[in-house]
Amino acid sequence: MPKIKKLNSEYPLLICVLFGMQEKKAFDIAVINFKKISGAVADFFVLCSANTDTQVDAIATEVEKQVAKQLKQNPWQREGFQNKEWVLIDYCDVVVHIFRKEKRAFYDLENLWGDADITYIGENDIIDPNIIHESQKTNVRKDTQEVKKKTLKKTNKESKQKNINGREQRKNRK
């Protein structure tokens, strides 16, 4: 009989990602927890494997669908949808990596982060998205929107500075 994996419902985005992966039969699912590591790029990496390009695409689509449905949140960045060997979906706090089996073995991300806590989700572990409370759904959207706003402000300032510097350089050449 399958067992229900006890996950902390404090991380609703993580739960939605894992549920989406399981819905499309992802395997070798691993959650790398960076919360104790200072300077980490995210709170969690979630990795999984797929056998075919079609399965990689199906898993990625399902993860985005579940997160949008449960949390009304879109990814901040997404890459790899052309080759479908390694798809990356960035939700700021949670970064999703969906690999073709052979690419995952080649890049071996789990061993790059030896000081992080890694939790493996077995195929008999059931992730239940119903443990996410309504108040948590709202908080995730607000937190992510704040991160996006800060990043956009920083990017806009950098772009404006580059434009100003470029104009000054052109004036100096004349």
**pLDDT tens-digit readout, 40-72:** 889 999 999 999 999 999 999 999 999 999 899
Domain-by-domain residue ranges, the chain? 3-132
Q: Is the pLDDT of residue 145 over 70?
A: no
* Burial (0-12, 13-18, 19+ Cβ within 10 Å), 125: middle
In the CATH hierarchy, which top-level class contains the domain 3-132?
A: alpha beta
Compare 136 and 21 and report the one with higher pLDDT. Answer: 21
Average pLDDT over residues 142-167: 54
- Structure confidence at residue 3 (pLDDT): 42
Compare 80 and 152 and report the one with higher pLDDT. Answer: 80
Average pLDDT over residues 163-172: 57
Which of 9-23, 68-82, 114-128, 150-164 has the weakest average pLDDT? 150-164
pTM for the model? 0.72
pLDDT in tens, 98-109: 999 999 999 988
